[in-house]
């Protein structure tokens, strides 16, 4: 498997996927380039970024595809909370991340997973 | 005192991203081999698309010869999130040369959005050309190193068919969300920002369960807009 010749149709589809994704990446930059935003719109974009980051965090932590990982959710929530508290307390995101990660591994191990 | 360059700072900040990218990109390489894709096809896909969910989702349709339109439509739906991320980043690169910016934007991913965003200073309106240039260098430091790990990882995964031991999966799973949350903790200042962050995080899961592609993006958009709108309304009322 995988040792046969490269399929030109598949290459074309992959290039198409790349082009579509690249357009999404550059589109807003092309539209907004050189513009100075009002204080209000600048704040809106900031809030949008916060909402997006929070959403990315919770979906990548609690979902697997479109399935809610109910068994793992409680200890992941505890580990995430520990990461946040430690990061806020010592003002070092890396320490927060390590705390959360180690706690998640420890809780999984204690659970016998 | 010797100051490190923004590129190097970005690369250092991206180390946890590499750690998270290695197993996922390896898994992508393994899956690509399983579906019968050629090594060059997965390397090309990782370099051109550089978006895990869309790449994983495209493996089966590509392997089974489904229509190109179907694969492209799926890519549009899954990767639409980059529009919002790119828009949120736009003010921070405002004065960068367009051609440089266009070349560097291929490196935009969820990680190369979150890390630089948390690093940039908040008020984007008074940024000098030097500052926007440094912002871009930092972004490239995060993005280029993570991108390289992703492409190499998918190739190595294909080659070695390596699998992560089960015991490590949970730790790797929480690595990036814990890092992003730790970064966001220092960034969220003010009641509105905090409320938006918490509400979006909570609402994203039911949103994604209702619609896997659009749900979390839609809830983030609605909550940010509502929070911003309510804050404006309260400010107007108190004048």
Give the range with max mean pLDDT: A39-43, A102-106, B71-75, B94-98.
A102-106
Answer whether B49 sits within 8 Å of A2, measured CB to CB: no
CA angle at B213 for the pair A82 and B10, rounded to the nearest 5°: 50
Nearest-Cα distance to chain A for B69, in Å, is 9
DSSP secondary structure of B41-93:
HHHHHHHHT--HHHHHHHHHHHHTT--HHHHHHHHHHHHTHHHHHHHHHGGGG
Beta strands in chain A (DSSP E): 63-64, 67-68
Q: How confident is the model at residue A1 (pLDDT cuts 50, 70, 90)?
A: very low
Residue B84 in contact with partner chain A when CB distance is under 8 A: yes
Residue B210 in contact with partner chain A when CB distance is under 8 A: no
Report the 10 Å Cβ neighbour count for B29.
26
Work out the burial of residue A9: count CB atoms within 10 Å of its CB; fewer than 13 is exposed, 13-18 middle, 19 or more buried. exposed
Instruction: Mention every residue, 6+ apart, whose C-beta is less than 8 A from residue B142.
Output: B10, B11, B13, B14, B17, B107, B111, B112, B115, B116
Nearest-Cα distance to chain B for A70, in Å, is 12
Mean pLDDT of B80-108: 88
Closest-CA residue of A relative to B158 is A2
Q: How confident is the model at residue A34 (pLDDT cuts 50, 70, 90)?
A: low
Q: Which of residues 37-56 of A touch B (CB under 8 A)?
A: 37, 39-40, 42-56
Answer whether A20 sits within 8 Å of B173, measured CB to CB: no
Token code pair at residue B154: 């998918």
pLDDT at residue A6 tops 80 = no
Tens digits of residue pLDDT in B119-146: 886 666 677 878 888 999 999 999 999 9
Cβ-based contacts under 8 A for chains A and B: 309
Answer whether A105 sits within 8 Å of B170, measured CB to CB: yes
Nearest-Cα distance to chain B for A72, in Å, is 9
Percent of chain B having pLDDT more than 90? 36
- pLDDT recorded at residue B123: 63
- pLDDT recorded at residue A2: 45
Nearest-Cα distance to chain A for B115, in Å, is 10
Chain A residues with beta carbon closer than 8 angstroms to that of B82: 21, 24-25
- pLDDT recorded at residue B161: 65
CB-closest option in A11, A25, A32 to B108: A25
Tens digits of residue pLDDT in A58-72: 988 898 877 898 888
For residues B86 and B80, the answer to whether their CB atoms sit within 8 Å is: no
Closest-CA residue of B relative to A106 is B171
What is chain A's length? 113
Mean pLDDT of B66-92: 85
- pLDDT recorded at residue B124: 66
User: How many angstroms separate the Cα of B144 from the Cα of each of A12, A29, B108?
Assistant: 25, 19, 9
């Amino acid at each position: 498997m995988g040792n046969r010749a490269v399929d030109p149709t598949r290459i074309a589809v992959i290039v198409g996927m790349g082009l579509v994704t690249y357009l999404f990446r550059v589109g807003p930059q092309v539209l907004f380039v050189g513009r100075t935003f009002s204080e209000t719109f600048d704040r809106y974009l900031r809030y949008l970024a916060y909402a997006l980051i929070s959403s990315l965090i919770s979906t990548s932590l609690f979902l697997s595809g479109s399935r809610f990982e109910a068994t793992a959710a409680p200890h992941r929530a505890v580990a995430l909370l520990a990461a946040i508290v430690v990061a806020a307390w010592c003002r070092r995101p890396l320490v927060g991340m390590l705390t959360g990660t180690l706690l998640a591994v420890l809780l999984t191990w204690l659970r016998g997973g | 005192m010797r100051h490190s360059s923004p590129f190097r700072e970005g690369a250092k900040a991206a180390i946890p991203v590499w750690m998270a990218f290695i197993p996922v990109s390896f898994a992508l390489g393994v899956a690509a081999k399983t579906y019968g894709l050629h090594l060059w096809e997965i390397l090309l896909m990782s370099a051109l698309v550089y978006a895990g969910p869309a790449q994983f989702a495209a493996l089966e349709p590509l392997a089974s010869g489904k229509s190109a339109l179907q694969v492209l439509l799926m890519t549009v739906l899954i990767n639409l999130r980059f529009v919002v991320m790119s828009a949120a980043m736009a003010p921070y690169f405002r004065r960068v040369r367009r051609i440089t910016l266009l070349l560097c934007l291929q490196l935009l991913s969820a990680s190369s959005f979150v890390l630089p965003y948390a690093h940039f200073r908040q008020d984007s309106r008074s940024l000098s050309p030097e500052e926007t240039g440094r912002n871009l260098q930092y972004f490239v430091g995060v993005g280029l190193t993570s991108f390289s790990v992703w492409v190499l990882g998918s190739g190595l995964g294909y080659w070695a068919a390596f699998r992560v031991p089960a015991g490590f999966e949970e730790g790797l799973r929480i690595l990036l969300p814990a890092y992003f949350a730790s970064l966001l903790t220092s960034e969220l200042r003010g009641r509105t920002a905090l409320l938006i962050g918490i509400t979006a995080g909570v609402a994203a899961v039911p949103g994604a369960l209702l619609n896997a592609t659009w749900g979390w993006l839609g809830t983030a958009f609605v909550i940010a807009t509502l929070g911003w709108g309510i804050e404006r309304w309260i400010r107007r009322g108190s004048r």
